[in-house]
Amino acid sequence: MNKYKVRIRLTLPAMSRLLWSIVRAVIVFGICFVILYPLYLKLSVSFMDEKDLYDATVHYVPKNFTLDNYKRVLAGLEYGRAFINTLALSALVSGLQLFACMLTAYGFARFYFPGKNLLFACVIFTLIVPPQIVMLPMFMNFRFFDLFGLFKRAMGHSLNLIDTPWPLIIQAMTCMGFKNGLYIYMLRQYFKGLPKELEEAAFVDGCGRFRTFIQIMLPSSVPMMVTVFLFGFVWQWTDSFYVGMYLPKACLFSNQLSSLAQVMARQYQNMSGSMNFVSPGFASMVNNTGSILIMLPLIILYLFCQSYFVEGIERSGIVG
């Protein structure tokens, strides 16, 4: 009896640990499958011929493997031009908003000034108000842009900034871009977690506050910077809300992709003259191929930044 008890004591924890690790592996695998399955579906559809879509025997693996979709969609998206434009815009916007948010977050993390808590509540407030609420006044503001009536006096009319990147740049510089309140919050938590001693040492040595920020804080917050930059970059890359509003005619991925199916159908029509409507199968094939092509640069970027990304998140310690 005694012996039996001892054996149980020895093996039960080990058994349950083994059991849990099996259960855990199954759960993790299952969730990964749920996430990756639609991606695989997109990928497989993008390699299919249109015939395969209507063939009931085709599941997951294309029967008539073809690269035609890619060739067509690359041309239909004007991939090269759109890629360069989107890259430039996303890098510019996310870089600017990273810098603006970092300055603001540092101000909130390290300085004491009257109204600080109230102003930080304002930051959170900007996050809570959906951009759709201020969408129309924003649009009007940039359509008839003016600084204290200066332009009207100088040129006789206000400036039209629609169809230029300026609205996005101005928003990025003033922390008014997409979810910038979230970035300020994340960065502030990160800065708060960094030790003060380094800055104090630099400050005592006669380094100005701004230089301290640039030379001491920036290098020690690279993981969080990468994280925020990545968020900003990805959201700008695929953004259809602001781009559709401020830059509706620009050759950018989100514009190109949203009109892709129709553009492609029109090309088809011109060639054969037989296709009068966009069939759902065709639209789906084209859209999935387009989505894959737009995602691809992001996935590559993500894989490169991934270790920073996870580290930045881990070290932010967003408690409280």
Partner 1 sequence: MNKKMLMPKKETIAGYMFILPFLIGFFAFFVPMLIKSVIYSFSNMTVESGGYVLSGAASNGFEHYIRALFIDPDYNRDLLKAVKDMFLNVPLVLIFSFFAANLLNQKFRGRGIARSIFFFPVILTSGILMSIEASDLLISTLGPENALSADDANTVFNVSRFLIEYTGLPTALVMYLSKSVLGIYDIVVASGVQILIFLAGLQGISPSLFEASNMEGATAWENFWKITFPMISPLILVNSIYTIIDSFTSAGNELMTVIKRTIFTDVKFGYGSAMAWIYFLVIAVLISSISVVVARKVFYMD
Residue 184 or 216 with smaller CB distance to partner 1: 184
Q: How far is the CB of 15 from partner 1 (least distance, A)?
A: 15
| Structural tokens at position 24 | 């855990």
Residue 129 or 198 with smaller CB distance to partner 1: 129
Residue 92 or 295 with smaller CB distance to partner 1: 295
Residue 71 or 157 with smaller CB distance to partner 1: 157
Pinpoint the alpha helices (H) of the chain.
Answer: 2-46, 50-54, 68-76, 79-110, 116-128, 131-143, 150-155, 166-173, 180-193, 197-204, 209-212, 218-220, 222-237, 241-246, 253-258, 260-272, 280-316
Q: Restricting to residues 121-140, which ones interact with partner 1 according to CB under 8 A?
A: 122-123, 126-138, 140
Q: Cα–Cα distance between 286 and 48 in angstroms, integer?
A: 11
Q: Which of 53, 194, 218, 263 binds partner 1 (CB under 8 A)?
A: 53
Q: Cα–Cα distance between 46 and 124 in angstroms, integer?
A: 41
Q: Which of 231, 232, 264, 265 binds partner 1 (CB under 8 A)?
A: 231
Q: What Cα–Cα distance (Å) separates residue 119 from each residue in 100, 124, 228?
A: 16, 9, 21
Under 8 Å between Cβ of 224 and 98: no
Could you identify the residue written with the tokens 């400036």?
A: 159
Under 8 Å between Cβ of 259 and 290: no
Residue 19 or 27 with smaller CB distance to partner 1: 27
Size of the site for partner 1 (CB under 8 A): 101
183 sits near partner 1 (criterion: CB under 8 A)? no
263 sits near partner 1 (criterion: CB under 8 A)? no
HSE (side-chain half, CA atoms, 13 Å) at 54: 6
280 sits near partner 1 (criterion: CB under 8 A)? yes
Residue 220 or 238 with smaller CB distance to partner 1: 238
108, 143, 100, 140: which is closest to 124 by C-alpha? 108
Q: How far is the CB of 138 from partner 1 (least distance, A)?
A: 6
43 sits near partner 1 (criterion: CB under 8 A)? no
* Contact pattern from residue 133 through residue 172 relative to partner 1, giving x for each residue in contact according to CB under 8 A and a dash for the rest: xxxxxx-xx--x------------xx-----------xx-
108 sits near partner 1 (criterion: CB under 8 A)? yes
Q: Which of 43, 87, 103, 159 binds partner 1 (CB under 8 A)?
A: 103
204 sits near partner 1 (criterion: CB under 8 A)? no
Q: How far is the CB of 316 from partner 1 (least distance, A)?
A: 5
Q: Which stretch binds partner 1 (CB under 8 A): 71-79, 87-95, 267-275, 299-307?
A: 299-307
Q: How far is the CB of 158 from partner 1 (least distance, A)?
A: 7
310, 287, 166, 178: which is closest to 234 by C-alpha? 178
Strand partners, 159: 145
